[in-house]
Amino acid sequence: MAAFDYVKPPSLESLINDYAQAKSEGAILAGGTDLLVKIRSGLVSRRVLFDINDLHEMKGISDEGDSLRIGAATRICDVADSNVVQSTVPFLSLAASQLGSPQIRNRATVGGNIVSASPAADTVLPLIAMGARLRFGSQGGNREVSIEKFMEGPGQTDIREDEVLIGVVVPKLSNGCKSHFIKVGRRKAVAISVVNIAGWIKTDRTGVIEDVRLVLGAVAPTAIRAGETETFLRGKRPNEVVLKEAARITAGQSSPISDIRGTQKGRRLLVEAWTFRLLQILMTQNEAN
């Protein structure tokens, strides 16, 4: 493994200044579950790593009324276990609880999951479904961008060289919404998703769908919203025929590749089958689960 310097900045201000000076030779070290693997295997080399784990401005979950603020260096296990996340954005907690293994969840952070930009990143799906916004800091000032616009391709994002992700602002689900997350892997634990799906739905008093969001992972260069399915479902009264058609439309919007975890054809079939299942669960579960 190539040698690097290790720096633990005493404050967010000094992180931003020192990181900007290091330019492309520096990297942010959060949990290290992606970065250190890449450094070890020679895929990435950096002269200096900036450890953000003690910066209180980048840690924790706070309730800001209609939204939650989650610090970028908040551990995945803390998102999974948080009462406020479980009660206001339950499918984010569900996605976090299925990421990796207990050991990975105890180290990995939300910010690392976002910035590494894997198309299969589990927490990214509910964050896109909620219209979450990312807050960045740099010497030039702060910037906010929607997570959907931030993701550009596998490992590719809109992050600038001197920017640090400080936190994520996540709107809470509104009253009467139901949400769910499904992860399909090659085994039940410590498996990167072959396909993952997150969604929420809101019906009116008569059972007609008022609004819905559906996000697919691992079946395109980034996680994607199934916009055609959302349009198809709005205003419909769900029954088996409607949900099956919605699942068929969803599979058509995916553009998966074949890789070691699954074939293109297999992934499309999984999208159809598991979208149907997710919609069935949304229609039959109690509110906000």
Of the candidate residues 86, 113, 203, 254, the single one contacting ligand FAD (CB under 6 A): 113
Output the residue with the shortest Cβ distance to ligand FAD. 112
Q: Which stretch binds ligand FAD (CB under 6 A): 27-35, 206-214, 230-238, 265-273?
A: 27-35
207: region left, alpha or beta (phi > 0 left; psi from -120 to 50 alpha): left
Question: Contacts with ligand FAD in 114-143 (CB under 6 A)?
Answer: 115-116, 118, 121-122
What's the start-to-end Cα distance of the chain, in Å? 44
Of these, 109, 179, 203, 229, which contacts ligand FAD (CB under 6 A)? 109
Interface mask toward ligand FAD for 35-54; x: CB under 6 A: x-x--------------x--
Q: What ranges make up the beta strands (E) of 160-208?
A: 164-171, 177-184, 195-203
Residue 80: other Cβ atoms inside 10 A: 20
Closest-CA residue to 271 (of 210, 228, 211): 228
Q: Which is nearer to ligand FAD, 32 or 266 (CB)?
A: 32
Separation CA 177–CA 198 (nearest Å): 13
Query: Taking CB under 6 A as the rule, does residue 218 contact ligand FAD?
Result: no
Near ligand FAD in 143-182, by CB under 6 A:
164-165
Q: Where are the alpha helices (DSSP H) in 135-224?
A: 147-150
Contact status, residue 236 vs residue 209, Cβ threshold 8 Å: yes
Applying CB under 6 A, the residues found at the interface with ligand FAD are 27-35, 37, 52, 72, 76, 99-100, 104, 107-109, 111-113, 115-116, 118, 121-122, 164-165, 190, 192
